[in-house]
Amino acid sequence: MKKVTLSFTIAFMMLSCQEESIKNNDENLTNNDEQSLANSFYGKTTNSNCHFEYEGANGPDNWSGICGNDWQDCGGHSQSPINIQTRNVVENDNLEDLEFNYSNSFTRIINNGHTIQFDYSSGSTLSVNNKTYELKQFHFHTSSEHTVNGISYPMEVHLVHRDNTTGLLAVIGVFFELSNNDNPLLANFMNDLPLNEGGIYNSNFNYNALGFLDYEDEIEEYYSYSGSLTTPPCSPIVSWFVVKNRVKISRKQLLQFEALMHQNNRPIQLLNGRNIFVPES
């Protein structure tokens, strides 16, 4: 009888530890959507009464005016995404390699009604130009938001990092291109993507977002410019790094994302005199 009781106690403790692990992980992964990150930078609170869409009266052309003054940055002069004209890029010898120090993360997937967002466990960082940013979340857009020489890609992932001292953001953009094979990292989650707005999937399954960078912890080739969030409040607090190398996705996987997110790419914004930089070759 003591042996049975002991076995039950151990099993209960293991289950409790698993549940506590998810609970603690969830506590570290709150308020990582783009609006919350922007509000944190400006010391604001979220206006939950404002809703945006990608078409119609609440579409991109009207974002700057549908939430009072809260989203007026959407009509600003340093907006994202942009079209990257490679003939106009400027070499900058001050640009360093992108250095990634990513640890594994538990799984937390959110369908927020506009995108599929993966919150990331704390402690993973991007270092560039003597600054360090912590990876907070990543999410997807179909089709790609940035274009290169006017060419759009089927999907783009944005890895959103925050400087925990200043609150400024660094976002890595990575393009997907179609392949006959599944993307191996995304393959782990295709059956777990929440189908409905507000849906959340939590799991102790561990993965590493370096899979979107072919597990390279240092990236030399990218485009960089100063821009904004691509969704309201469109805050111009982002250093953008758009990676030149692309990753693969199968048509089946792409169609599944498209069915959930539909077309959720903001139209191309004007450069308004900004430069697009590349590291010196």
Angstrom distances, CA of residue 21 to CA of 17, 193, 258: 6, 21, 32
Q: How far apart are CA 59 and CA 54, in angstroms?
A: 5
Specify whether the CB–CB gap between 237 and 228 falls below 8 A: yes
Among residues 160, 159, 163, 171, the alpha carbon closest in space to that of 82 is found at 171
114 catalytically annotated: yes
Angle at CA of residue 153, ends 37 and 229, nearest 5°: 15
Q: How far apart are CA 102 and CA 99, in angstroms?
A: 9
Structure tokens at 217: 């912890």
Q: Which of the residues 51, 77, 114, 158 is marked catalytic?
A: 114
Angstrom distances, CA of residue 27 to CA of 23, 48, 119: 6, 21, 11
Active site residues: 114
